[in-house]
């Protein structure tokens, strides 16, 4: 005779609903049967179902964070060809995606390089790996976020909007260079950088390292202040490589049977 027979199992389901333990509710009958059959100590049964609940919660949390992160699909570290950017080591990126050394103190990551060099791909892949490692990330085109903050400011809710972004350990601002020069619009970006300084991290991708940033912020003093805050605690990765798209197109044109050359495709034209 099963030991659960004397217990009102329908009531257990109700109790577990009330306690919000959906995983235990789903798995306990299976483990109870096994425990009865194999004569588990009660503590082992309790530990087993509790661990299932915790593991499932962790999975769901990461799923939620993944949805919140709005990462572009398909841009992973696995699909990133590190040979194409010899100045960046995979080991360095793997240290970055552990997160602890920089996200906990609000340090920044700046990716520079010409268009097509893989900045957005690497930024998204780093974001994805960080989410999988338990961090909270938001990926956004810089112009989109600036526009939203601009709207918030018009509604006198800029501070609240910036505070809401605090829940993200890392804000990935893709394509800084394309922010409009409009004075009113760009100062929200400064407000954001200022608010996160030494507290919450920012990852910025940009085609130009600093030289052109005078075009991003409304005046030289603000540009200097923004750059100063961003680089104070920052890792800078320069990805000075030829466009990946262009190079892979050239390699396709060269056809099979030839070794895929990574070096200066110009000589192969």
Select 23 or 205, whichever has its Cβ closest to ligand ADP: 205
Q: Is position 181 an interface residue for ligand ADP (rule: CB under 6 A)? A: no
Task: Find the binding residues for ligand ADP in span 217-256 (CB under 6 A).
Answer: 244-245
Contacts (Cβ under 8 Å, ≥6 apart) of 172: 123, 124, 126, 127, 137, 138, 139, 140, 202, 203, 205
Select 25 or 265, whichever has its Cβ closest to ligand ADP: 265
**HSE-up of residue 104 (Cα within 13 Å, Cβ side):** 5
3, 35 contact by CB (below 8 A): no
Q: Least Å distance between CB 162 and ligand ADP?
A: 25
Residue 245 binding result from ligand ADP, Mg ion, none, given CB thresholds of 5 to 8 Å by partner type? ligand ADP
What SS3 state is found at 61? helix
Q: Is position 120 an interface residue for Mg ion (rule: CB under 5 A)? A: yes
Select 49 or 126, whichever has its Cβ closest to ligand ADP: 126
Select 21 or 85, whichever has its Cβ closest to ligand ADP: 85
Find the DSSP H helices in the chain: 9-18, 22-38, 42-69, 90-98, 100-103, 119-132, 142-154, 158-164, 183-196, 220-232, 244-254
Q: Is position 84 an interface residue for ligand ADP (rule: CB under 6 A)? A: yes
Q: Is position 120 an interface residue for ligand ADP (rule: CB under 6 A)? A: yes
Residues near Mg ion (CB under 5 A): 120
Residues near ligand ADP (CB under 6 A): 75, 79-81, 84-85, 113, 115-121, 205, 244-245
């Amino acid at each position: 005779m099963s030991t659960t027979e004397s217990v009102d199992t329908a009531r257990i389901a109700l109790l577990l609903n009330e306690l919000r333990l959906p995983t235990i509710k789903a798995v306990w009958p299976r483990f109870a049967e096994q425990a009865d059959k194999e004569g588990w100590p009660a503590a082992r049964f309790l530990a087993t179902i509790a661990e299932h609940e915790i593991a499932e919660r962790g999975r769901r949390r990461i799923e939620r964070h993944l949805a919140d992160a709005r990462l572009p699909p398909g841009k992973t570290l696995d699909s990133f060809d590190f040979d194409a950017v010899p100045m960046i080591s995979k080991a360095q990126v793997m240290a970055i995606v552990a997160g602890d050394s920089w996200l906990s103190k609000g340090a920044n990551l700046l990716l520079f390089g010409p268009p097509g060099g893989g900045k957005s791909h690497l930024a998204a892949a780093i974001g994805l790996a960080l989410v999988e490692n338990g961090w909270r990330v938001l990926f956004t085109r810089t112009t989109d976020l600036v526009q939203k903050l601009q709207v918030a400011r018009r509604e006198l809710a800029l501070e609240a909007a910036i505070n809401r972004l605090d829940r993200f350990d890392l804000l990935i601002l893709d394509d800084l260079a394309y922010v409009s020069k409009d004075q009113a619009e760009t100062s929200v970006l400064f407000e954001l950088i200022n608010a996160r300084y030494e507290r919450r991290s920012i990852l910025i991708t940009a085609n130009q390292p600093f030289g052109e940033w005078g075009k991003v912020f409304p005046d030289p003093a603000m540009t200097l202040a923004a750059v100063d805050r961003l680089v104070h605690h920052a890792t800078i990765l320069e990805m000075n490589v030829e466009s990946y798209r262009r190079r892979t197109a050239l390699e396709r044109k060269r056809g099979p049977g030839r070794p895929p050359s990574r070096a200066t495709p110009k000589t192969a034209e």
